[in-house]
């Protein structure tokens, strides 16, 4: 039996977030009976429970503000070492999601190696580039990433562009890397247009099915909301722009309102968050098009979900997005007029052409980003068959 410890996510069952969804899907799609998963879960108490046939161990974390993430990841590493030693587990694997604990990573690598275990990481996207962090935090995250790449037995990248960056940026360490994509679910929502949840949401938000463009994601500058809003407002489309994102107590919202005046355009509709995944999938399926402005990160989960659910996808043309979307999407640049023109082109597109884009997008998901395929690759990786 190969024991694999998945740490760095908030845990399962997943409510929201890329890493949480990844852990939920990976455990749910386990195929190899010789793989047994242990999952760290952020909690207000200590304990254990079983979910998706995985052992979920709760890490109690005090209220430390932003520092609680570092505390949680460090405590999770410590608990892995304790459990592996106590149960005398041979050839265990600890897989860390994220790169925030560089200062202690070398220490835990040595402890795990003495126990016969391997330490792997997923560096996520370029977290240190995110505008939400102060210059000091960015420098820490970059340094922490460097330390963790240096001390990892294997760096698993969910984007070939990220793998290329890791190999080039940290070539002095000759990092051992591999590429395993993130996944998406091609199943359709179980809701129908007559479902009360769907009717209530569309009525409350004053949105008509198939008469809106959609964006889903964290409300942060690097997701290019300013460009998307400005370009949409300059377009001639009669459709709405529905933004599913959390703007409560967010200073960025007020800054954008002042810069763009989006509150004066009745087509712009900030509708809050949607945590019901079945309803969110229904909303994606009934969007006329999806607008994606993420430019920091690897294989973005919200992009995969859009490709799996929405006919037309209008993506910012950075390398990460082109790698995922291929010929199943249209691409825009940040220069003035690019996205607004694309929206016009999309509005005038024939239904046959829209269906062809949908077919190509779903083909991308089926061929490269389905969870069954990805789970099998991870199982081979954890058993050492990719090393």
Rounded CA gap, 87 and 99, in Å? Answer: 27
Instruction: Write out the H or E segment, with its range, that includes residue 232.
Output: helix 225-234
- The pLDDT value recorded for residue 107 is 97
DSSP string, 24-36: HHHHHT---TTEE
Measured CA angle at 17 (ends 339, 191), to 5 deg: 80
**Bridge partners, 212 (sequence order):** 240
What share of residues in the chain are helix, strand, coil (percent, to 5)? 45, 20, 35
Rounded CA gap, 297 and 177, in Å? Answer: 17
DSSP string, 23-68: HHHHHHT---TTEEEEEEEEESS-EEEEETTEEEEEEE----GGGH
- The pLDDT value recorded for residue 222 is 83
How buried is residue 313: exposed, middle or buried, by Cβ count under 10 Å (0-12/13-18/19+)? buried
Query: Token pair 């809003």 is at which residue?
Result: 229
- The pLDDT value recorded for residue 186 is 85
What phi and psi, each to the nearest 5 degrees, are found at residue 290?
A: -115, 135
Q: What is the DSSP letter of 264?
A: G
**Going by C-beta distance under 8 Å and a sequence separation of 6 or more, which residues neighbour residue 7?**
39, 40, 73, 76, 77, 80, 94, 95, 96, 97
pTM, two decimal places: 0.83
Each residue's pLDDT, cut to its tens digit, for the chain (387 residues) gives: 999 999 999 999 987 678 898 999 999 999 999 999 999 999 989 999 999 999 999 999 988 777 888 999 999 999 999 999 999 999 999 999 998 999 999 999 999 999 999 999 999 867 776 777 788 888 988 999 999 999 999 999 988 889 999 999 999 999 999 999 999 888 899 999 999 999 999 999 999 999 999 999 888 888 999 999 999 999 999 999 999 998 877 789 999 999 999 999 999 999 999 989 899 999 999 999 999 999 876 678 889 999 999 999 999 999 889 999 999 999 999 999 999 999 999 999 999 999 999 999 999 999 999 999 999 999 999 998 865
């Amino acid at each position: 039996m190969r024991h694999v410890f998945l740490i760095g996510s908030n845990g399962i069952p997943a409510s929201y977030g890329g890493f949480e969804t990844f852990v939920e899907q990976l455990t749910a799609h386990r195929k190899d009976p010789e793989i047994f998963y242990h999952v760290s879960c952020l909690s207000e108490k200590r304990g254990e429970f079983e979910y998706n046939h995985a052992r979920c161990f709760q890490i109690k974390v005090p209220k430390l503000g932003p520092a609680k993430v570092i505390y949680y990841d460090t405590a999770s590493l410590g608990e892995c070492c304790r459990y592996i030693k106590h149960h005398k587990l041979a050839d265990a694997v600890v897989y860390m999601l994220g790169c925030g604990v560089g200062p202690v990573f070398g220490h835990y690598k040595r402890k795990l190696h003495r126990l016969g275990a391997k330490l792997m990481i997923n560096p996520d996207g370029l977290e240190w580039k995110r505008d939400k962090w102060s210059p000091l935090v960015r420098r820490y995250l970059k340094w922490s990433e460097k330390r963790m790449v240096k001390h990892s037995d294997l760096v698993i990248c969910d984007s070939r562009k990220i793998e290329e960056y890791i190999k080039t940026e940290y070539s002095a360490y000759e990092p051992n890397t591999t590429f395993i994509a993130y996944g998406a679910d091609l199943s359709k929502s179980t809701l129908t247009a007559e479902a009360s949840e769907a009717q209530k949401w569309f009525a409350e938000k004053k949105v008509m099915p198939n008469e809106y463009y959609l964006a889903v994601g964290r409300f942060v500058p690097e997701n290019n909301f300013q460009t998307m809003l400005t370009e949409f407002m300059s377009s001639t489309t009669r459709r709405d722009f529905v933004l599913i994102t959390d703007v409560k107590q967010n200073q960025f919202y007020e800054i954008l309102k002042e810069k763009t005046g989006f509150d004066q355009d009745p087509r712009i509709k900030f509708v809050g968050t949607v945590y019901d995944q079945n309803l969110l999938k229904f909303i994606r399926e009934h969007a006329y098009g999806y607008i994606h402005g993420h430019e920091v990160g690897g294989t973005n989960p919200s992009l995969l979900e859009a490709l799996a659910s929405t006919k037309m996808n209008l993506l910012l043309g950075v390398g990460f997005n082109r790698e995922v979307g291929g010929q199943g999407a249209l691409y825009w640049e940040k220069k003035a007029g690019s996205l607004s023109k694309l929206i016009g082109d999309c509005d005038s597109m024939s239904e046959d052409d829209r269906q062809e884009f949908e077919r190509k997008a779903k083909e991308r998901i089926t061929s490269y980003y389905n969870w069954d395929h990805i789970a099998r690759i991870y199982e081979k990786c954890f058993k050492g068959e990719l090393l």
